Structure formats: C-alpha cells, structure tokens
C-alpha cells in the first residue's frame, strides 16, 4: 500500500488534555502510522500502528510496558465519552448498547465496560479507531470487482481503507456507487474522498439502505462495511440478486475461518465473484481467490 495519510488530528478533539498533550509530543513516525488509541481505566495509554507503543509517565514511547507508564484514569474515560457524544449520552444510547460510538470524520470508538439490561452502566475502556485514506491502494482490485468483491482480513489489516479506495476509484471511473454508511466510517462525513459518482445513505440499517438504493438510486455497485450476522445478511439478500455488484468486507484471519463463519460462507454462495484476502498486518499482501477456491480449500 502507498503512504498512509494520517487521520490522528481528526480524533484529538475527543481526548482529555493530559492524554492529548502526551500524544502530540510523540515522534512524528508514530503519529503518522497510528490507527488506534487505547485507553483503559487503570491501564497504560497505548498507541497502535504497525507496532504498539506504551507511553511512559515522562512521555517516552516504549515497545514494552515501562516501569512507570502513563495510567489512564476513570475520569479520563468519562471525559473522552463526554467529548465524543458532546455531552448527549442519551441520544447515543443505542450505539453504546452495541459497544461503539461513531465519531467525527469517519472515526469510531469501541466501548467496553459494565452492561446491564442492554445498557452501558460504566465504561472502563475506549478504543479509538482512526480512519485512514490510502489513495491508490485498491488499483489492482478494480477489474476484480466487476462481479462483486468481498474483502477479508484480520482486525487492523486495512479492510475498510481498501474498500473506501475501491469505491473512490470505481466512482471516478464513471460507475454509480451507492454507499450504505451505517456508522459513518466509509465516507468520513465528507472529509474522505469517495468519488464524484457516489451516493451516500447513512443513519439507517444496511438492509433499509440497500432497499432504498435499489429503489431510488439505480446503482451499479452497492458498498457497505461488514455484515454482522445472519439476520442482517438475510435482510439484504435481495441486493445480491438484483444485478447490482456488492462490495463489502468481512473479519477473518484465515481461509478456514472464512469457511467456518456462517455469514462469510453464505456470501460465497453466488453473492460475490471474488475475494481479496489480506494476509495479515496493515500492509499485508492481498491474495485474490474465487468463492470456489475458498470452498474447496482444505
């Protein structure tokens, strides 16, 4: 992949001053390659890129746990969530119940802690995922997307980044692309370039978004990030048989895992034409396979 355009500045608004100051003081190469910021109550501040760095109390970045790390407090966890939600927790209850918060500019925060009755009672960690734009990284996938494409890889491998650039390239090539951006990550609220012929549907489910796109937008491609479960897959199945090409992603760390997960296995059954399998890591090699090759893999 080409040089990563950092999005670190786009998430700094969410961080308490002490943490923000520590991150700004880090070496530039760490800031440029960061794709996660992890805050755990009572745990060390961690910045993740190709390498994970723990921050010491005196501001040093270490690849090991330092003897005196910068420890994140419970109040800093609360403040981070307040900043992300702009002090409107009630309006974001459904997102919190699903374990995440959408952020500005296409970023996302994973939230964990104590849940009761389907509601978050106490947050104990926040994992901020930084949206990245790598223009040109999907150039080799344009022709492979002609019958639909499933991008598969482990966490942090760049699936969404690759999908975003594929949308951009297809759009600039004159194709009509409808993006169902449920969490606001693919399009980044207009910050990220997804092409001139792209229509965006956000603030609704993938199923409803696909239905709207088919009914009103006449797309050649429909793109959305990972299908979460079989129920969601069943609801969007109409899109797979409409003649529109589907572009999507799936979390899996191996071919065997692709086959063993019911959702990804179902996608191989006539819904997509090719798979782009990211081997591992942010700059992992991409292997192209047909559904038949995956299903016959032993």
Q: pLDDT tens, 185-223? A: 888 777 788 999 999 998 888 888 988 998 999 999 999
Q: Map 32-54 to HEC letters.
A: HHCCEEEEECCCECEEECCCEEE
Same domain, 151 and 110: no
**More confident position, 234 or 49:** 49
Q: What is the pLDDT of residue 254?
A: 81
What is the predicted pLDDT for the residue at 21?
96
pLDDT (mean) for 252-267: 79
Tokens 């090539």, residue? Answer: 173
Same-domain check for residues 116 and 160: no
Beta-sheet strands, E only, within 100-213: 100-102, 108-116, 119-129, 149-153, 177-181, 198-202
Q: What is the CATH number of the domain that holds 70?
A: 3.30.450
For 253, phi then psi, to 5°, come to -105, 0
Per-residue confidence (pLDDT) for residue 235, from 0 to 100: 65
Closest to 37 (Cα-Cα) out of 26, 53, 25, 21:
53
Kindly report, residue by residue over 218-227, the tens digit of the pLDDT: 999 999 988 7
From 104, 257, 106, 233, select the one nearest 181 (Cα to Cα). Answer: 106
144 and 281, same domain (yes or no): yes
- Would the CA dihedral through 182, 215, 164, 197 be positive or negative? negative
Q: What does the pLDDT read at residue 98?
A: 85
pLDDT digit string, tens, across residues 65-119: 999 999 999 999 999 999 999 988 888 888 898 898 989 888 899 999 999 988 8
Higher pLDDT, 282 or 277: 277
> pLDDT value at position 258?
82
Please check whether residues 155 and 271 belong to one and the same domain.
yes
β-strand partners of 183: none
pLDDT at 61: 96
Burial level of 295, CB count in 10 A (0-12/13-18/19+)? middle
Same domain? 87 vs 113: yes
Overall number of domains in the chain: 2
Residue of 77 and 238 predicted with greater confidence: 77
Out of 66, 99, 129, a domain closes at 129
Helices within 173-241 (DSSP H only): 206-216, 230-235, 237-240
Q: What is the CATH number of the domain that holds 202?
A: 3.40.50.300
């Amino acid at each position: 992949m080409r040089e990563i355009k950092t999005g670190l500045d786009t998430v700094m608004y969410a961080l308490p001053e002490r943490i923000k100051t520590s991150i700004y003081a880090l070496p530039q190469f760490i800031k440029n390659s960061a794709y996660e910021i992890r805050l755990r109550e009572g745990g060390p501040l961690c910045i993740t890129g190709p390498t994970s760095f723990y921050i010491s109390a005196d501001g040093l970045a270490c690849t090991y746990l330092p003897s005196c790390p910068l420890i994140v407090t419970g109040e800093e966890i609360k403040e981070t969530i307040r900043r992300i939600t702009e002090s409107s927790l009630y309006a974001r209850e459904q997102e919190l119940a699903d374990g995440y918060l959408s952020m500005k500019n296409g970023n996302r925060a994973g939230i964990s802690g104590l849940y009761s009755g389907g509601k978050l009672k106490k947050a104990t960690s926040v994992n901020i995922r930084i949206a990245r734009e790598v223009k040109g990284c999907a150039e080799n996938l344009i022709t492979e997307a002609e019958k639909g494409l499933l991008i598969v890889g482990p966490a942090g491998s760049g699936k969404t980044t690759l999908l975003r650039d594929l949308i951009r390239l297809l759009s600039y090539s004159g194709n009509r692309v409808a993006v169902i951006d449920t969490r606001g990550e693919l399009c980044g609220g207009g910050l990220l370039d997804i092409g001139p012929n792209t229509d965006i549907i956000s603030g609704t489910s993938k199923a409803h978004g696909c239905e709207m796109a088919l009914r009103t937008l006449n797309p050649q491609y429909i793109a959305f990030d990972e299908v979460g479960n079989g129920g969601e897959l069943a609801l969007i199945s109409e899109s797979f048989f409409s003649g529109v090409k589907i572009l999507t992603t799936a979390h899996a760390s191996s071919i065997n895992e692709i086959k063993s997960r019911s959702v990804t296995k179902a996608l191989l059954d006539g819904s997509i034409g090719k798979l782009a399998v990211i081997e591992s890591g942010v700059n992992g090699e991409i292997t192209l396979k047909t559904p038949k090759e995956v299903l016959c893999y032993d």
